[in-house]
Structure 1
Amino acid sequence: MTQSPALLDRVLDAVRRHTVADNPSSFLALNKGNKFFTTPGLDGVVIYRTTGRHVVQFGGPFSAVEAYDALLDAFAQHVRDRGHKLVAVQLQTYDAHTYARRGFTVNQLGASWAIHLSEFTLSGSRFMQLRNKISRAHHNGLQIQEVAVDDVRDALARIDTAWLGSKGGARPLEFLVGQIGGSVQALRRLFVGTIDHDPVAYISYSPVYGSRAGWMHDLSRRVPGGSPGLMEAINAQAIETLRSEGANWLHFGFTPFTGLDAGHEVEGHSPAFQWLLQTLFAEGAALYPAQTQLSYKKKWGPQEQIPEYVAFDGPASLSSFAHIFRACNAF
């Protein structure tokens, strides 16, 4: 099903109400470009994109507990009937065990990270380097403000262009990262840093539902070669703002290849695919800068490490794995 205002409202309602899997990235279900699968009589929705002969599903079904299994089965059969291959990404632990029971090959793909805001502090020796970077940014004239997108749209575009240019003309990632703009923008938060009134960096935050409700540090970009500590300073101020409003959790989103642990694997996983992912964390920076992403997240001292999974309808497949990155516009 293609997107329409009424359907987006239905998806938002499902994401808010149906948190059985506790997916901290669930708001990404509302990204422009996603497709939706529903079945009459079943309370829920499945989110996916199609690349070639593959269907890449985001998360498990966002559905009522009593409809979850039936909706998953209906969607998997829908994909098979069309001669496509199904691969699901960013599954949570509840999803992973359910898919494995249905014969999918399920492996841990990475992890997401979160801090409990009521317990968070930047004091102490462990955060000394982080405090120094934040101080340098402010010393260099950084000013931070929460703004509406319409007030800074052109400035954001200039930052995006400079940021992508510094990555050798890299494609802007989609699907498993957030967006700015669109009909649900009012539900996000946007913090922008300026120096001498010139926007130099921004971080967008998306709402998180479920047992660790709060916000997710989502899309973030900066001009290359600027002051050190821009992102750190913006995030620190956002943390204080969100905490003052009573938010409980700040999530840092999913990073593939990180947090891999044999203890997180489910029955029937592929040892060969497990080895591949460990190799990609160690040597796969050209595919995805997992170590750089993890370093940024770890500097905030996250208390929660949440394993996330990939599921293949059949044996683990390199072709299906590659199509996840195609769905993300990585290549």
Structure 2
Amino acid sequence: MTTPAVPRADAAETLRRHADHPSGFLALNSGTRHHHGGDDRGLIAYTLRGRHAIQFGGPFAPPAHRAALLAEFRAAVPARLTVAQLRAADIPLYAGQGFAVNQIGSTYAIDLAAFTTRGRALAKVRQNTARARREGVTVTELAQGEGEDPELSAIDAAWLRDKGRHVKELRFLIGERGGPGASWRRTFVARREGRTIGYISYSPAYGARSGWLYDLTRRRPDSPVGTVELINLTALTRFQSEGAGWLHLGLTPFAGLAAEHDPPAASRTLARVVGLLAEHGRAVYPARSQEAFKLKWDPQVIEPEYAAFEGGVSPTAVWNLMRATRAI
């Protein structure tokens, strides 16, 4: 059953049970449509762009039902399908049905049981957080329901203005403040001299590496160096104390690309295009700075993520994927 862009009440529970994907919670984003299996054992998250459908992740369903759910979805939605943020385990399902599958970036994860700020790897984090503290930055977690603070909206606007007119905020691949998933999300804010200067929101992460997803991060352009690191360290320490397993840092498009990650079903043309974007596409997405920030935390797991294209890669399919995610 395909639904309008309003999640069903049980969608969050379906994701909790079946989304073995560090970013799976993002399937609850505002404007994301859901196709629910006829037996209610899973869902597929997607958006539409004309005659094209953009799917997020693979089928969120028990392994035994994933192939049938995908087939049912393809029959129900008369649109050419492109899929973003597939994991390596999804490749056989899509390649076996004639999709071209290419790496589009990498995702990063911190094992909270092993994390420590000691040692050389975290030296930059220690240095930056100490600097932020010296300049009077403090961090607190917002109470439930405070995520729609107008001050946070002002930070969003200032952040985008500072990035320049060519940079647009991604959607569909990142979270949001408010929306259907608001009650599950946690937000930590930085303040200085009584003024809110930045925030990070975190979403639940389900599956084999359950924990939290570092989701949406924003800061004022004039915030002290180390503000974002101090917010994240504060949240990470809180999650550790609560016994959470992992902190996922999310997908960075065009980062960590390697030829050995592309399966036999990969399009060589698309691999070249993605490689050029990784090398020269700073106006499209700041992949290098995002990757450097994530590596600063010494993640224990770095995994490739993929895009899949029904019937092979076409310029229109690539364009629609970029537009749907606001990468261009």
Alignment TM class, shorter chain as reference: over 0.9
Conserved 8 A contact 2:101-2:306: yes
In the alignment, residue 47 of structure 2 is paired with which amino acid?
R
Conserved 8 A contact 1:203-1:217: yes
The Cα RMSD (Å) is 1.6
Superposed, 1:250-265 pairs within 5 Å as 250-265=247-262
Answer yes or no: is 1:167 the counterpart of 2:163.
yes
Structure 1 unmatched runs, 5+ = none
Conserved 8 A contact 2:142-2:187: yes
Which range moved further: 106-115 or 317-326? 317-326
SS in 2 for 1:43: coil
Q: Give the equivalent residue in structure 2 for 1:139.
A: 134
Q: Give the equivalent residue in structure 1 for 2:152.
A: 156
In the alignment, residue 168 of structure 1 is paired with which amino acid?
G
Q: Give the equivalent residue in structure 2 for 1:117.
A: 112
TM-score (norm 1): 0.93
CA distance in 2, matches of 1:16, 1:162: 34
- Per-residue CA deviations over 1:69-106 (Å, capped at 9, x if unaligned) read 11111212333xx3x32100001112122100111111
Superposed, 1:204-215 pairs within 5 Å as 204-215=201-212
Q: How far 1:263 sits from its partner (Å)?
A: 2.3
Q: How far 1:328 sits from its partner (Å)?
A: 2.2
Q: How far 1:128 sits from its partner (Å)?
A: 1.9
CA distance in 2, matches of 1:136, 1:75: 51
CA distance in 2, matches of 1:126, 1:173: 29
Conserved 8 A contact 2:88-2:306: yes
In the alignment, residue 132 of structure 1 is paired with which amino acid?
Q
Conserved 8 A contact 1:257-1:277: yes
Q: Give the equivalent residue in structure 1 for 2:10.
A: 10
Which range moved further: 145-154 or 188-197? 145-154
TM-score (norm 2): 0.94
Larger helix share, 1 or 2: 1
- Per-residue CA deviations over 1:186-227 (Å, capped at 9, x if unaligned) read 211110000011000000000001110000111000000221
Conserved 8 A contact 2:198-2:223: no
CA distance in 2, matches of 1:327, 1:217: 21
Structure 2 unmatched runs, 5+ = none
Superposed, 1:73-92 pairs within 5 Å as 73-79=71-77, 82=78, 84-92=79-87
CA distance in 2, matches of 1:196, 1:328: 36
- Per-residue CA deviations over 1:145-197 (Å, capped at 9, x if unaligned) read 00136436111011111111112244432110101113431211110000011
Conserved 8 A contact 1:42-1:67: no
Q: How far 1:109 sits from its partner (Å)?
A: 1.2
Conserved 8 A contact 1:8-1:30: no
Give aligned-pair identity as a percent: 40
Q: Give the equivalent residue in structure 2 for 1:97.
A: 92
Superposed, 1:1-331 pairs within 5 Å as 1-4=3-6, 7-19=7-19, 22-41=20-39, 43-79=41-77, 82=78, 84-148=79-143, 150-151=145-146, 153-169=149-165, 170-331=167-328
CA distance in 1, matches of 2:279, 2:264: 25
Number of residues of Structure 1 aligned to a counterpart in Structure 2: 324
